[in-house]
């Protein structure tokens, strides 16, 4: 293949060979500079800054464009688990929730522990066929955190529609590199601190429900944790019962200001580069790495088309890789490499050369 150079230019110059975006992404230089400026500003204007809502508003709009829904259908949060708990609480008692086996805990746990709900799990590959009459919600990750497998989004979506089930898509391991349309699912939740290159504390919930993006506000779930930032009139929502916003802002949490200051600039970079270009870059590098593993007699978990490559038998290499400046992770007995826009074929070659020195662990 043609040698792949990093995308993003001078935005990234890490001291490490960073192959760990499935855990957390690198912060672009523009985002770090904005964050430093906001911290300095806080010494004179407080930790909400001079304008608490400007960066959050820009981040909401940018994420909405990335997943192709109106900004009025995006809520701001702090964690996937909290937003999934909101969806869980909106389901009628006795509802069945269907999810893949071993999906990420922040998605599954709020649904499985909510009183009155029944969680049923099946292998990811069987998810679409397992939707049945009486299934109220199908909750699943677009890309599996453990091994990078990509769900059959179209098949699950159509099966859910056939049986009248809603869909909750966790895009945390997908948004930023895998093209997605939130309108094709009832709910799309995404932590933004991985592939979207934002700080922790930046999370989005997009309301879909129909491909044309029409909004039927009265059918939205109750705004169970609505505080003052969820009010229709922010200037009149500090005391007593509030009138919730008529948009998805009714589900906003009081956001972590510094996180969203940086997020505005990180999301702008993703938009400038374009998700299709990032997708092509990331998947080409992952395919190159998979071929290198095969040449060395190593077989990663099957995950066609994914930017994540997880390989058994190499968990003992993590410490030595760290000593060599390679940042990577081990999950479930798999050495997990994640290729993103700031990576290159040089990074893959370095990892492969270091792994060639590693006797597979048994």
- State the pTM of this model: 0.94
d(C-alpha 271, C-alpha 317), whole Å: 35
Are residues 86 and 221 in contact, defined by beta-carbon separation less than 8 angstroms?
yes
In tens, the pLDDT along 205-217 reads 999 975 444 444 4
Q: What is the pLDDT of residue 235?
A: 86
| Run of H or E residues at 137 | strand 135-141
**Domains, in order of start, for the chain:** 9-28+274-355 (3.90.1150.10), 30-272 (3.40.640.10)
In tens, the pLDDT along 10-23 reads 999 999 999 999 99
In tens, the pLDDT along 204-252 reads 999 997 544 444 444 689 999 999 999 999 888 889 988 999 999 999 9
The DSSP annotation for 59-75 comes to HHHHHHHHHTS-GGGEE
Q: What is the pLDDT of residue 101?
A: 98
Q: What is the pLDDT of residue 356?
A: 86
Strands (DSSP E) along 142-292, which ranges? 166-170, 187-191, 203-207
In tens, the pLDDT along 123-162 reads 999 999 999 999 999 999 999 999 999 999 999 999 999 9
Q: What is the pLDDT of residue 216?
A: 44
What is the three-class DSSP state of 161?
helix
pLDDT exceeds 60 at position 194: yes
Confidence of residue 358 (pLDDT cuts 50, 70, 90): low
Average pLDDT, the chain: 94
pLDDT exceeds 90 at position 255: yes
């Amino acid at each position: 293949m043609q040698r792949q150079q990093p995308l993003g230019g001078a935005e990234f110059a890490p001291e490490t060979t960073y192959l760990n975006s499935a855990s957390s992404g690198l912060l672009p230089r523009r985002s770090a500079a904005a964050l430093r400026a906001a911290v300095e500003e806080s010494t004179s204007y407080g930790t909400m800054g001079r304008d608490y809502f400007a960066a959050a508003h820009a981040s909401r709009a940018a994420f909405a464009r990335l997943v192709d829904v109106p900004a009025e259908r995006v809520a701001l949060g702090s964690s996937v688990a909290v937003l999934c708990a909101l969806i869980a609480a909106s389901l009628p008692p006795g509802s069945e929730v269907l999810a893949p086996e071993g999906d990420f805990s922040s998605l599954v746990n709020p649904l499985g522990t909510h009183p009155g709900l029944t969680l049923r799990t099946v292998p990811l590959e069987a998810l679409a066929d397992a939707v049945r009459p009486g299934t109220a919600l199908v909750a699943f990750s677009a890309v599996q955190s453990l091994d990078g497998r990509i769900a059959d989004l179209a098949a699950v979506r159509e099966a859910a529609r056939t049986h009248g089930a809603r869909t909750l898509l966790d895009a945390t391991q997908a948004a930023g590199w895998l093209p997605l349309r939130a309108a094709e699912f009832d709910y799309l939740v995404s932590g933004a601190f991985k592939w979207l290159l934002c700080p922790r504390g930046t999370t989005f919930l997009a309301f879909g429900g129909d491909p044309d993006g029409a909004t039927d506000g009265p059918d939205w779930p109750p705004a169970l944790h609505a505080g003052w930032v969820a009010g229709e009139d922010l200037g009149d929502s500090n005391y007593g019962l509030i009138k919730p916003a008529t948009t998805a802002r009714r589900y906003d949490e009081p956001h972590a200001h510094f996180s969203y200051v940086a997020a505005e600039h990180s999301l702008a970079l993703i938009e400038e580069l374009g998700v299709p270009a990032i997708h092509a870059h990331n998947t080409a590098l992952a395919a190159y790495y998979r071929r290198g593993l095969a040449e060395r007699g190593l077989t990663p978990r099957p995950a066609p088309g994914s930017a994540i490559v997880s390989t058994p038998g190499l968990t003992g290499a993590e410490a030595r890789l760290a000593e060599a400046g390679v940042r990577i992770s081990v999950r479930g007995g798999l050495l997990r490499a994640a290729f993103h826009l700031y990576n290159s074929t040089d990074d893959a070659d370095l990892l492969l050369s270091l792994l060639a020195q590693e006797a597979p662990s048994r």
